[in-house]
Amino acid sequence: MLVWAREQSGYAVARVAERLQVKEERVAEWEQGARPPTFRQVEELARFYHRPLSLFFQPAPPQVPSPATEYRRLPGVTPGEESPELRLAVRKMSSRRETMLELLDELGEPLPNFTLSARLSEPPAVVGARLRTALGIELANQLDWPNEWHAWARWRTAVETIGVLVFQFPKVPLTEARGVSLLHFPLPVAGVNSKESPHPRIYTLIHEVVHLMLAAGNEEAPAAREARDSAEWTQVERFAEEAATHTLVPEAALGAMMEEAGLPKNGWDIGDVRTLAKRFQISPLAMATRLRAFGIFTWDQYHQWRADWEAWVATLPARKSGFAHPVTTAVSRAGRPFTTTVLEALAANRISPVDASRYLDLKYEHFDKLKESLHERPGSGGDDE
């Protein structure tokens, strides 16, 4: 059981030994049955592996699927070799989805229906327009949004209304995953890395929804079953990127805005792209991707602009995370639909306060403030962590 829990969590023996402040040989002795850990050490292992204490006293390990049977293929991530942080993120999001399904059934409420799909044979612009129409984002409203946090809240709420659970996950390096989608229907999941700043989160979210559309159209399979080679998968990623930027910036609006702002037709620098990106409340990198699709950049020019952008970003001070109230963090990670459903189930005596606290990773003492926060309009404050 100890071996199973460690391997499922993705930890090496050395990492476990460091956490429990024992020698690696001692962990090996535990796992080989040569020497049992103390009860306090088992409690610490349960916390470290994010598993219930009772699990370690079961006669045999449970049968659980690999995380890669759930999430879409991620560039640079080999199925079975995910970081412990990404494994935990996928497991938590999957568990919340299952909980949502159970609670909706308990409450007698209908399941949200995700009806969108896409095919790789379609033009990305058509897919982007279809998604934007479904989300109901009006261009005039988008151009009037006051800040990036408001924009993030509006896009997130719109995605949640089309039958997608939007979760945020912490601690996963951005180099491993900026976003991930769980290809289950109904109630597919779009996960966004909370290390992202708001503007990149928006692009990441829409990008993941496009992948969900492709999965619904039988164009994608979970990572463990995805058979495309790297070159073929790159083409899928480019399709999703382009469709996402078409969703965020409609063709006609882009041309009109370029003319209105007096921006050049060539020779774009970082400042030009940032100006246009801010107008649509998206990230400059997403805007550069959109401009390439629009024909402003060739691929060589796009790669050069991106290299210049990344070099410029590297000179900026690190983004400060600050402190967020536990309620803010809970709602940010779980999303309003999931949080509201948990509270409804609690009010209907379908679950206990202990269950509700566990589902939301929030102490029950904060639930009064949680209920108050849900009456606030999304985007009225930041949901940073």
Predicted confidence at residue 16, as pLDDT, reads 96
Query: Cβ(181)–Cβ(188) under 8 Å?
Result: yes
Integer-rounded Cα Rg, in Å, for the chain is 22
- Cis ω on the peptide bond leading into residue 264 (within 30° of 0)? no
Q: Dihedral sign for Cα 271, 144, 165, 213, please.
A: negative
Residue type, 251: E
Query: Cβ(85)–Cβ(172) under 8 Å?
Result: yes
Asked whether residue 208 carries a pLDDT value surpassing 80, the answer given is: yes
- Summarize pLDDT for 227-242 with one digit per residue, the tens: 999 999 999 999 999 9
pLDDT mean over 245-260: 90
Report the Cα 302 to chain-centroid distance in Å: 26
DSSP 57-122: GSSS------GGGTBBP-TT--TT---HHHHHHHHHHHHHHHHHHHHHHHHTPPPP-------TTS
Residue 146 tokens read as 């006051």
Predicted confidence at residue 384, as pLDDT, reads 55
Q: What's the CA gap between 149 and 381, in Å, rounded?
A: 7
Asked whether residue 180 carries a pLDDT value surpassing 60, the answer given is: yes
Biggest alpha carbon–alpha carbon distance for the chain: 75
Residue type, 53: L
Task: Say whether 182 sits in a helix, a strand or coil.
Answer: strand
Residue type, 116: L
Predicted confidence at residue 262, as pLDDT, reads 73
Q: What domains does the chain contain, in order, with CATH numbers?
A: 2-64 (1.10.260.40), 66-248+320-385 (no CATH)
Can you tell me which residue has the tokens 């164009």?
219
Whole-number percent of the chain with pLDDT over 90: 85
Residue 291 tokens read as 């401009």
Predicted confidence at residue 103, as pLDDT, reads 98
Environment class of 217 (CB within 10 Å of its CB; exposed 0-12, middle 13-18, buried 19+): middle
Min mean pLDDT across 40-49, 98-107, 151-160, 256-265 is at 256-265
Predicted confidence at residue 257, as pLDDT, reads 86
Select from 200, 167, 194 the least CA-distant residue to 336: 167
Q: How confident is the model at residue 264 (pLDDT cuts 50, 70, 90)?
A: low
pTM of the entire predicted model: 0.92
Min mean pLDDT across 95-109, 165-179, 235-249, 256-270 is at 256-270
Asked whether residue 385 carries a pLDDT value surpassing 80, the answer given is: no
